[in-house]
Chains A and B, each alone.
Chain A
Amino acid sequence: MNSIPGVRRFGTVSLPTVTLSHGSGGKAMKDLIDDVFISAFDNPLLAPLDDQARIALTTLADHGDRLAMTTDSFVVDPLVFPGGDIGKLAVCGTVNDLAVGGAKPLYLSCAAIIEEGLSIDLLRRIARSMAETARQAGVSIVCGDTKIVPRGTCDKLFLTTTGIGIIPAGRELGAHLPRAGDAVLVNGVLGDHGAAILAARGDLVLDAPIDSDCAPLHDLIETLLSAAPGTRFMRDATRGGVATILNEIAASAACGIEIDEPAVPIREAVKGFCEILGLDPLYLANEGRLVAIVPWDASEQAVAAMRRHPLGAGACLIGRITDHRPGQVVMRTVLGGRRIVDMLVGDQLPRIC
């Protein structure tokens, strides 16, 4: 470790799997943390390995006038899937939760709950993936915690990341701000992550795997906000998909939302996947997709700006905010009919026929 000159020797783990002794607080635990996490996350705020990371307020104040803070836990089966893994997910999820609020993401914590028996190599791979994604997102993982639990008491690995970011002065986004006439935008095809996870679980064998859309969106969001500074609100369309996010916006802003089914971008493979399993892609999770509500007259610039960014190449307008039926999301179907797009009661369950 370059950043800690000569203070201590860094441990390594020679066993192939995590055992309960790696959680006991002794040398084995120190070796695991050094080998897996510290070596991957390496940064000056983490380096002292104290009980807390200490961040100068002046550093924070350079970026804006409000602190944004968020936390999220990640449980996904399988841990590694086409297009990502739980580590990448844990960084992107928290970075995106900060960025959609207009904040510049700066620091993350990482808490890991590990089931005994997990492969050390897999754990190293996941930690490296977190580090790489954090580097891309321009954030540092500055503190963390590790717990090992007996086999059967957690599913392989649970990660929790907490993030803080800073909101530049004058930037106001809020779910109460959308008003009738505003445009509803997305930054690309929907449902890839949800379909990728279901496919990776073996629910359906596909000729070509669907890759998760998992990605840190902070840079795309800055691009969007530069092009459309009047943007009212953004949210990343994770669990529950775009349908759920739109319902949340309609409820918070007490407005109606009308979306146009033919305009909603969905990859052919995901459409086919959903047809066969009887799922609605609007409810599939995304990990690198956002919904943005922008004033109608800024929508063209906003879409054009997003399309120039690699994570917004598929950006498009899918609908608009209305003053009809407050709280309700209505879709104009491909056929020209109309239907309500409601919140789901629970998980989407595949239909039998």
Chain B
Amino acid sequence: MKYVDEFRDRDTAMALVQQISRLTDRIGATRQRPIQIMEVCGGHTHSIFRYGIEGMLPEQLELVHGPGCPVCVLPMGRIDDCIAIASQPRVILTTFGDAMRVPGSRGSLLQAKADGADIRMVYSPSDALALARANPDREVVFFGLGFETTMPSTALTVLDAERDGIANFSVFCNHITIVPTIKAILDSPDLQIDGFLGPGHVSMVIGTAPYEFIAQHYRKPLVVAGFEPLDILQSIWMVLRQIDDRRAEVENQYARVVVAGGNAAALQAIATVYELREFFEWRGLGSIDYSGVRFRAGYARFDAERKFTVPGVRIADPLSCQCGEVLKGVLKPHQCKVFGTACSPETPLGALMVSSEGACAAYYRYVGRNQAA
């Protein structure tokens, strides 16, 4: 594939791996513990496992698979609320495919669909709006989720619905924002991470400025990275170079897509439609201040939480889950005490086993439950 295969070239990858090994050796000579780099975004986690990148890296370099899978971090209570909306008469609930299997306290959307709820997979919120136009006697609800990557498309769809006076369309809004979450991870006392790969698609929307505090205040390097394997390897090399030079800066490897100021139209749509929630619950991480958004009062009629009654009950994560430690890089996925036993892709207990982008699910699927150790 043109413009894709170039970023999967084996010889270039090998050359980069050599450079990475050399830098790792040099940095490693000055310290006891391994170098830890966190990829924040689930898309990166997916590519790392899909191409077997982890196994190509030197042992003293560890990749920590961060919280950036928006499907994984949905808490059980929100899934329960979503099922409650989907189960109301006349409702068609529309959702991205990978949210179908996320477990709530009494099952997933897939199970709710089997029990009779009208739940349909869509590829974009505009598909959901089209469904609302085609079914004026039904209430079409879109299960809005994702970071800043998907926030603008939901916002623009709501603006379209407003312009065209579509009254039977609403959004169950679970959009979340990445920066407060990175800050929460940085503030945790057991943190060992030496640098970050910044999320490419989120940065395409928000630009690179919002990460400056990570470099300036926390003195950690961050490189905004693309999603092809060579993007990831080059970004790892760029982080290592910063560590080796004792620099802490925000750099942009994904300059073919990400510009420093972000996407003005997308940011405008976000600012028009959403406001920050004071706090939002994350599976595996608990409640994080100002980490979620909801609709502004002017768009309340498109807010499914206000249009329908939802239980809104907070369900605690199972006690045995150690997702928090895995997310922070304190534990590797297979070191969690329920990995591959009580918690597996068939019956996920914790956030990270839920979607293929979750670190534990990717580990289970691509590295293997047996030889992980």
Q: Specify the chain A residue showing the minimal Cβ separation from B347.
A: A345
A343 to chain B, nearest CB (A): 9
Q: Report the interface size class on chain A.
A: 20 to 34
- Mark out the residues of chain B between 332 and 353 whose CB falls within 8 Å of any chain A CB in the assembled complex: 345-346
Q: Which stretch (B144-152, B155-163, B212-220, B259-267) binds chain A?
A: B144-152
User: Most chain-B Cβ atoms within 10 A of its Cβ — which of A325, A337, A349?
Assistant: A337
User: Most chain-A Cβ atoms within 10 A of its Cβ — which of B98, B99, B147, B371?
Assistant: B98
The digit string for A335-353, where 1 denotes a CB below 8 A from any CB of B, is 1111110100110011111
In the complex, what distance in Å separates the CA atom of A336 from the CA atom of B11? 9
Quick one: given A275-B4, A336-B14, are A353 and B146 in contact (CB under 8 Å)? yes
In the complex, what distance in Å separates the CA atom of A335 from the CA atom of B49? 12
Q: A332 to chain B: which residues have CB within 8 Å?
A: 52
Asked if B229 and A339 sit within 8 Å, CB to CB, the answer is no
The verdict on A334 contacting chain B, using a C-beta distance below 8 Å, is yes
A43 to chain B, nearest CB (A): 42
In the complex, what distance in Å separates the CA atom of A340 from the CA atom of B372? 11
Quick one: given A349-B97, A351-B46, A353-B43, are A342 and B146 in contact (CB under 8 Å)? no
The verdict on B13 contacting chain A, using a C-beta distance below 8 Å, is yes
User: Contacting A335 at CB < 8 Å: which of B229, B366, B371?
Assistant: B229
User: Most chain-B Cβ atoms within 10 A of its Cβ — which of A268, A271, A275, A338?
Assistant: A338
Asked if B96 and A275 sit within 8 Å, CB to CB, the answer is no
The verdict on B207 contacting chain A, using a C-beta distance below 8 Å, is no
Q: A331 to chain B: which residues have CB within 8 Å?
A: 52
Q: Specify the chain B residue showing the minimal Cβ separation from A276.
A: B123
Quick one: given A350-B121, A351-B98, A352-B71, are A336 and B10 in contact (CB under 8 Å)? yes
A268 to chain B, nearest CB (A): 6
The verdict on B365 contacting chain A, using a C-beta distance below 8 Å, is yes
Q: B71 to chain A: which residues have CB within 8 Å?
A: 352
Q: Specify the chain B residue showing the minimal Cβ separation from A336.
A: B10
In the complex, what distance in Å separates the CA atom of A145 from the CA atom of B123? 39
Q: Specify the chain B residue showing the minimal Cβ separation from A343.
A: B365
In the complex, what distance in Å separates the CA atom of A346 from the CA atom of B96? 16
- Mark out the residues of chain A between 194 and 212 whose CB falls within 8 Å of any chain B CB in the assembled complex: 203-204
Asked if A277 and B123 sit within 8 Å, CB to CB, the answer is yes
B345 to chain A, nearest CB (A): 5
User: Most chain-A Cβ atoms within 10 A of its Cβ — which of B56, B366, B368?
Assistant: B366
The verdict on B251 contacting chain A, using a C-beta distance below 8 Å, is no
In the complex, what distance in Å separates the CA atom of A339 from the CA atom of B234? 21
In the complex, what distance in Å separates the CA atom of A275 from the CA atom of B50? 12
Asked if A339 and B367 sit within 8 Å, CB to CB, the answer is yes
The verdict on B90 contacting chain A, using a C-beta distance below 8 Å, is no
In the complex, what distance in Å separates the CA atom of A332 from the CA atom of B50? 10
In the complex, what distance in Å separates the CA atom of A353 from the CA atom of B4? 17
- Mark out the residues of chain B between 40 and 60 whose CB falls within 8 Å of any chain A CB in the assembled complex: 42-43, 46, 49-56
Q: A275 to chain B: which residues have CB within 8 Å?
A: 1, 4
Q: B99 to chain A: which residues have CB within 8 Å?
A: 352
User: Most chain-B Cβ atoms within 10 A of its Cβ — which of A277, A335, A338, A349?
Assistant: A335
Pull 23 A–B residue pairs with CB atoms less than 8 Å apart, ordered by A: A203-B123, A275-B1, A275-B4, A331-B52, A333-B52, A334-B8, A334-B10, A335-B8, A336-B52, A338-B52, A340-B365, A340-B366, A340-B368, A342-B365, A345-B345, A349-B98, A350-B121, A351-B46, A352-B145, A352-B146, A353-B43, A353-B147, A353-B150
